Structure 1
Amino acid sequence: MPIAKRNCWRLALIAALLTLATPAVLLGFGDQGCGAGACTDCHSLTPQQAKALLPSGVDQIHRVVPAEVGGLWQVEGESQGQRFTVWVDFSGRYLIAGNIIRLKDGADISKRVELAELQALPAVRLGAAEAPVVVEVLTDVHCQHCRTLHQQMQQVVQQRPEVAFRIHLLPLMMTSAEAAALQQANSLEALERAYRQEEMELPSADTAAVEALKDYARRWQLRGTPVLVLPDGLVLSGARPAARLIEALQPFLPAP
């Protein structure tokens, strides 16, 4: 979705919410605030209720869950073939549309994708075949930040052998044909030579898998590289040091 259209859609959401009264099914905080129990003991919001809050341009609400940020519902839906995540407060009076960054590790908690389709696509593996913690990575061999991230990923698998990365070639600066050839080669050595811009002779390959990856990235609004998708679908964008990667993966690592 073009930036201008996306911004107009978000503004339309906000304008529509300003005209809506608070539904009776939603509970505000009240004078006393929440009790000592779980938030869901007092508050509830179904996908149907969430869709009723939003304007008619929203085609479907896929999921409503308590957000990582207290007092908010995380609402995941679809509009015009594009996935989106917004937040509605427990009172049903306020909408937040945009990025929410977790300061501890820089994760954008507004970006969470479904993994099954990505996991079904071919990828070059960095790390042990039996590693239980697997991170999906979208990269472009002509991207300097992707090369930097790859070096940090190498350090991660050396320090934490229970982690592996599945590397997908998403052509932004490289061509689809180049991405398909590297993907078909399924060689970590060839991938690393490509990062170093070494000339190689690789047989041509069908670009169907690359086109499927491009379509996946478009639908989930993954517009740049590098991108890491954690085992719970949370998206991390950009290169980061090995120590920060390990910190982000800590919830998924086996107990010592």
Structure 2
Amino acid sequence: MNALSRRIASNFFALTLTLTALTLSTSALASEVDRLAERLQVGGQPMPVASIRDTPIDGIYQVRLETGEAFYSDVEGQYFLVGDLYENSGQGLVNLTEQSRNDERAARLAGVADADRVIFRDTTESRVEIVVFTDTTCPYCRQFHDEVPDLNAMGIEVHYLAFPRTGMNGEGARQLQQIWCADNRSEAMTSVKREEAFSGTVDCDNPVEAQYHLGMEVGVKGTPAIVLPDGRMVPGYVPAERLAAMLGLDG
């Protein structure tokens, strides 16, 4: 075997060892996560675990429940820590919990089909899209909607999801269901938010209740709740020009 062949063989052997170590490490992590999921109980009752993630701290895991709540736990599920985890980096404090929350929020919203949204866009080339949880009975939602044409003119698509702030038994839920059941949802949305006369049915297979629960799971507390492409959530009304600046657009 010549020198080149020996080097190739040596590199291949080293790569094989590295891949084997990574596989074992991944398997060990998966095993620990599985054990933790089984051990997470309070008062003898299992917790509704949605996901468990590794953290930069050995032996500490981020647990997210089906309710959207999150906390940190040791591998035994004996000690819990509620709060945000920060990294003291060279650029200052970095909120790792918020980053994870944003990533998960963006992923959840990406799973909502366009057919289940009320989308406002115009002929301007689209530069970015935002998701907005809205309620027709919310004055600040109406104020935001008045500026949607300005946002569209700047290339910002507005994708509405439903969030009846008083719950599914309120007037907002009824109006939102009427909008989602309408033949032209965007026209219906504008009419209702302008408080114009509008009559429609709620007797259709609509996603309003599912989106209401989705909103609660991703941290919506009120409306409007604006979600940027990276998953960051901006609560409340934001003027069009300021929102464009937050998106890195120059208007």
TM-score bracket, normalised by the shorter chain, equals: 0.5 to 0.7
Does residue 169 (structure 1) correspond to residue 162 (structure 2)? The answer is yes
- The aligned counterpart of 2:69 is 84
- The aligned counterpart of 1:199 is 197
The Cα of 1:140 is off from its aligned counterpart by 0.6
Name the aligned partner's letter for residue 179 of structure 1. Answer: L
Contact 2:132 2:159 in 1 (8 A): yes
The Cα of 1:84 is off from its aligned counterpart by 3.3
Name the aligned partner's letter for residue 83 of structure 1. Answer: G
The Cα of 1:55 is off from its aligned counterpart by 7.1
Contact 2:70 2:82 in 1 (8 A): no
The Cα of 1:188 is off from its aligned counterpart by 2.5
Q: Structure 1 pair 154/217, CA: closer, same or farther in 2 (3 Å)?
A: same
When normalised by structure 2's length, the TM-score is 0.58
- The aligned counterpart of 1:179 is 176
Q: Structure 1 pair 227/76, CA: closer, same or farther in 2 (3 Å)?
A: farther
- Which of 179-188 and 129-138 deviates more? 129-138
How far apart are the structure 2 equivalents of 1:96 and 1:182? Answer: 39
- Give unmatched runs, 5+ long, in structure 2: 1-28, 74-79, 87-96
Map of 1:137-176 to 2, 5 A cutoff?
A: 137-158=132-153, 160-161=154-155, 163-173=156-166, 174-176=171-173
**Counterpart secondary structure, 2:221:** coil
The Cα of 1:87 is off from its aligned counterpart by 8.1
The Cα of 1:171 is off from its aligned counterpart by 1.8
Name the aligned partner's letter for residue 118 of structure 2. Answer: V
Please identify which structure carries the higher helix content.
Answer: 2
The Cα of 1:116 is off from its aligned counterpart by 2.6
Contact 1:228 1:236 in 2 (8 A): yes
When normalised by structure 1's length, the TM-score is 0.57
The Cα of 1:128 is off from its aligned counterpart by 3.2
Name the aligned partner's letter for residue 240 of structure 1. Answer: V
Aligned sequence identity (%): 22
Does residue 249 (structure 1) correspond to residue 247 (structure 2)? The answer is yes
Contact 1:121 1:213 in 2 (8 A): no
**Counterpart secondary structure, 1:206:** coil
How far apart are the structure 1 equivalents of 2:225 and 2:160? Answer: 10
Name the aligned partner's letter for residue 134 of structure 2. Answer: T
Q: Deviations over 1:86-113 (max 9, x none)?
A: 689xxxxx9662699xxxxxxx947521
- Give unmatched runs, 5+ long, in structure 1: 1-45, 89-93, 101-107
Q: Structure 1 pair 175/116, CA: closer, same or farther in 2 (3 Å)?
A: same
Name the aligned partner's letter for residue 165 of structure 1. Answer: V
How far apart are the structure 2 equivalents of 1:178 and 1:232? Answer: 30
Contact 2:140 2:224 in 1 (8 A): yes
Q: Structure 1 pair 82/121, CA: closer, same or farther in 2 (3 Å)?
A: farther
